[in-house]
Structure 1
Amino acid sequence: MNNIIEIDGHKAVVSLDPDIGQLRGEFLGLNGGADFYADNIADLHKEGSLSLKVFLEVCAEKGISPFRKFSGRFNVRLNTETHEAAVVAARAANKSLNEWVADVIESAAHEE
C-alpha cells in the first residue's frame, strides 16, 4: 500500500521496502530521483527534507528545472465495454466524453 505525504510543500509517495525493512519515500513531479529511506515517519520527514534540499541544490547548480512539466494531455486505453459505458455516462450528464473523464479524474484526484 502506498501513501502520500507532504514534505516542505512537495508530495511524496511512501511505501514499505520489504527487502530492507524500511519506509521508502519518493517525491512526485520531479525531473529526477530524490528518494529517501527511514525506519519511522518522523525520520522519513527529516530524510525527505534533506533529499529534496540536495536535489534542488544540484538542479540549481546545473541550471536544470527540478520539476516536470505536464501538458494536460494523455491517452487512455479502455476495453470496448468500458469505453461505451463512459460515452453513455457522459451523454447522460450532457457532457463530452473528454469533459466527463476530466471531471471524474479531477474528483478522484482531489479526494482526501
Structure 2
Amino acid sequence: MKDRIIYEDFIASIHFSTEDNTFFGKIEGIDDLVTFEGDNVQSLNQAFRDAVEDYKELCKMKNLDPHKSYRGTFNVRINPELHKKAVQIALKEGMSLNQFIQKAIEDELNSVMKK
C-alpha cells in the first residue's frame, strides 16, 4: 500500500496502527492539522475526502486559502562536494547558486510532470 493518497490537489500521509487495527492519515501541505481514520481502505479514502471537503468549507467560511502559503525560501542540506560542484557550474553558466538551483528544480519538476 502507498503511504500517500491524493484527492483533488490535496495529499495525505497514511499510517496503520496495529494497536487499534485502524488506518489513519493527515492532510499534508496545509497550515492546519487535519486528520482522519478508517477501519479499511475504502472507509479511509472516504474519510479523507470528507476531511478535505470539510476543511475547504471551513476555509471558505473564514475566507482563507486552504493550501499552505510558501515564502519561496528554504534551507537545503547537501553533501559539501555536491555544493561545491553546483557553485562551480553556476559560475561557469553565469548564474547565481540560487538561479542554478531554481533551474534544476524546474527541470526536475517538468520531467516528473511529463510522466
Residue correspondences, number: 111
- State TM-score, norm by structure 1: 0.68
TM-score normalized by the length of structure 2: 0.67
- The 8 Å contact of residues 31 and 68 in structure 1, kept in 2 or not, is answered as yes
After the TM superposition, list the runs of 4 or more consecutive aligned residues in structure 1 that deviate by more than 6 angstroms.
none
Name the CA distance, whole Å, in 1 between partners of 2:69 and 2:3: 23
User: What letter matches 1:13 in structure 2?
Assistant: S
- Give the gaps of 5 or more residues in structure 2: none
- Deviation, 1:2, is 6.3
Aligned amino acid, residue 61 of structure 2 = E
Alpha-carbon deviation of 1:109?
8.8
Percent identity of paired positions between Structure 1 and Structure 2 = 26
Q: Is the 8 A contact 1:4 1:14 kept in 2?
A: yes
Partner AA of 2:54 in structure 1:
V
In structure 1, the residue matched to 2:54 is 54
The root-mean-square deviation of aligned C-alpha atoms, in Å, is: 3.1
Per-residue Cα deviation, 1:20-65 (whole angstroms, up to 9, x for no partner) = 3433322222221222122433222200011112222233334443
CA pair 110-43 structure 1, distance change in 2 beyond 3 A: farther
CA 1:91–1:55 in structure 2 vs 1: closer, same or farther (change >3 Å)?
A: same
Whole-Å separation in 1 of the counterparts to 2:17 and 2:82: 34
